[in-house]
Amino acid sequence: MGWFCVVLEPNVPHLKSPSEEERSQFDLLEDPAIIGALDEETEFNALVEEEAALLESLLTER
């Protein structure tokens, strides 16, 4: 499987080979520990938003 990414410039898409750093970033997104951490962060952010909405609704009821 070859690596490639799309570089978008105004009205001119180009294909290029990613650098070693870009490939390592792709590999990190496949790491189960990274995926788990991202899932936990997503869940935490959802709880924070839910708590903020609940607090706001309680404060506006007064």
Residue 10 lies in a domain: no
| pLDDT number for residue 1 | 46
> Residue 61 — very low, low, confident or very high, per pLDDT cuts 50/70/90?
confident
pTM of the predicted protein model: 0.52
Judge whether 28 lies within some domain: yes
Structural domain count of the chain: 1
Q: In this predicted structure, what is the pLDDT of residue 42?
A: 93
> Within a domain: residue 4?
no
Average pLDDT of the residues in 34-58: 92
Query: How far apart are the C-alpha atoms of 51 and 54, rounded to whole Å?
Result: 5
User: What is the percent of the chain where pLDDT is above 90?
Assistant: 31
What is the tens place of the pLDDT at every residue in 22-39? 777 777 778 888 889 889
CA dist 49 and 32 (Å) reads 26
Helix (H) or strand (E) holding 14: strand 12-16
